[in-house]
Amino acid sequence: MIPTFLLDVPRYVFLTGKGGVGKTSVACATAIHLARHGKRVLLVSTDPASNVGQVFGLHIGNTITEVLAVPGLSALEIDPDQAAEAYRARIVGPVRGLLPESEVKVIEEQLSGACTTEIASFNEFTGLLTGDEAVAGFDHVVFDTAPTGHTIRLLQLPGSWTDFLNEGKGDASCLGPLAGLDRQRTVYAEAVAALGDPARTRLVLVTRAQRAAVAEIERTHAELAALGVREQHVIVNAVMPRPAGSDELATAVFEREQAVLADLPPALRDLPTDVLALKGDNMVGLDALGSLFEPGVDVDALDDGPARPVGIPAGAEVLGALVDELARADHGLVMFMGKGGVGKTTIAAAVAVALAGRGLDVHLTTTDPAAHLTETLAGTVPGLEVSRIDPVAATERYRETVLRTKGATLDDAGRAALEEDLRSPCTEEIAVFQAFSRAVNEAKQRFVVMDTAPTGHTLLLLDATGSYHRDVVRQMGQGGAYTTPMMRLQDADYTKVVVVTLPEATPVLEAEGLQADLRRAGIEPWAWVVNNSLTAATTSDLLLRRRAENERAEIAKVLVEESHRCALIPLLAREPVGVPALAALTTTAAPATI
């Protein structure tokens, strides 16, 4: 049976969702399906952690490349870093030599952040949405990763950014990127119109049957629908089929996912929805991708046996071992970073509970607007303070401060321009940075355990931190006496960054990209945590054991190539909610190694 999202397909299909939900696999399978039905298809990835080439087993770069094994199919990977570099060159080049070097450096600084990369990536595929000759011969263009609501809001902001840039001196981190948008505002308007035209574009929200992943697509649905992108479908990927036996873990996973499916948010319940079954093997290669939309389970001759851990690679630790190391100090910043849906909030809460349980003073906080720390804890612990850096409240305080100070000296036109700038979504990043800086400084006296927002937002936060640091250095000089938040983050004794991922190819690839970004900023991750591992779980279910075998290569890759300090957390029959369950995460004995 053909999934509903593949019926009457418009020319453009965008797939979006959290890292690790199988978005790339679904995009590749979609492109193969359309090509095998006689269509000429271009598969485009705008994901910085794209593994489209890995899925097809060939090299795909920034030029349209034929997938010879699938007649009619071609692919293209838009490299965000290359796109950003070209974008910077187009904006800075014309003014170099005309403006003083100091002003050119200010513009370059404004163009150094993640906002620029996001806009530049959209700039690259704008042509694909507005009739670029390169895609004229294709019946369908399938995008692996849609533009975010953040990007679309930036493109819809009115007014003369160039004029305000001369007055504003970079008060918002996106002023630099936006300075170049006026030149192509008509083209961008046409692209945004194409995204909102159901006859031309379909948005597919890809999720897993997990509450956090569903909450993410619920937010995406509402945000993009409000911006005019209303032709939306839902795919719930990799859903556990009803177990054949009585394995406790398999039964618990099945029942948990069915409960999520039965309780989809009202906003999603009315959307056309397809449910795809969990497969035993990784979705790599044409045979595997060709079976993705087929029902049934592809488990064959695995020897049946008693319920037991598959056996993890030597060198992996339990979460409690990381807590033991952290507790040797009596203060410091512990930051958990990673893509959405990998379990950062749960792991951060577990570590905070364990540290407080040892009599240490701990502040558990989050920069993630979607985090639910209080629900995860479901209780209190002596010595543990819990808070949230509220983006809405922080932004409102920041706006009021800027209007009261800088706005007081402006005329009506200048104040109107300032108010317009402060409506930019990037204003939120700066406001959150200020609250974040206060939390970083607080770690001088006690432990601050921080659950960060998903990777893209965290990198924007680090951009703001780096920009502030460079501004201080310029003003104070290299020999000045100062300590910036970035210097705190770069201090390995003060800050411990823990990268959280899942034992699957795409989440590990994305975590590697995050680690590379951190290292470029002079921040060396302290440890990795691989969450929800079947390899470390106890199961006799053949499907889960097949998937556990496939995890081992990813876990070994983390241990050998990425981190000498890595904790493995098993997939649990019951979600770790509440203080006792969280405490158990750091007291579990190490599983057997092989």
d(Cα 526, Cα 281) in Å, to the nearest integer? 31
**Would you call 20 a catalytic residue per the annotation?**
yes
Contacts of 516 (CB under 8 A, 6+ apart): none
The residue type of 387 is: S
Report which of 544, 551, 541, 460 is spatially closest to residue 504, judged by C-alpha positions. 551
Catalytic residue among 17, 20, 113, 456: 20
- Catalytic residue (one of 506, 533, 540, 563): 506
- The catalytically annotated residue of 47, 144, 171, 517 is 47
Residue 246 annotated as catalytic: no
Sign of CA dihedral 417, 422, 426, 427: positive
The active-site residue, picked from 16, 25, 145, 467, is: 25
Alpha carbons 214 and 274: distance in angstroms, whole number: 14
Question: 23 catalytic, yes or no?
Answer: yes
Sequence-separated (6 or more) residues with CB below 8 Å from residue 445: 331, 361
Q: Given 19, 22, 332, 513, which residue is catalytic?
A: 22
Helix (H/G/I), strand (E/B), else coil: 61? coil
Contact (CB, 8 A) for 485 and 441:
yes
d(CA 533, CA 91): 46
**8 Å CB contact between 53 and 269:** no
**Which residue, 459, 448, 553, is CA-closest to 495?**
448
Is the Cβ–Cβ distance between 27 and 144 less than 8 Å? yes
Catalytic residue status for 22: yes
* Helices 149-156 and 114-129: angle between axes, nearest 10 degrees: 80
> Is 24 marked active-site?
yes
For β-strands 566-570 and 447-451, DSSP reports them as unpaired
Whether 343 sits among the annotated catalytic residues: the reply is no
Residue at 336: amino acid letter: F
Helices (H) and strands (E) in the chain, counts: 24, 15
For residues 182 and 548, give the distance between their C-alpha atoms in angstroms, rounded to a whole number: 51
- List the catalytic residue out of 16, 19, 23, 45: 23
Q: Which helix (H) or strand (E) holds 74?
A: strand 73-77
Q: Which of 16, 18, 19, 24 is catalytic?
A: 24
Residues with catalytic roles: 20, 22-25, 47, 506
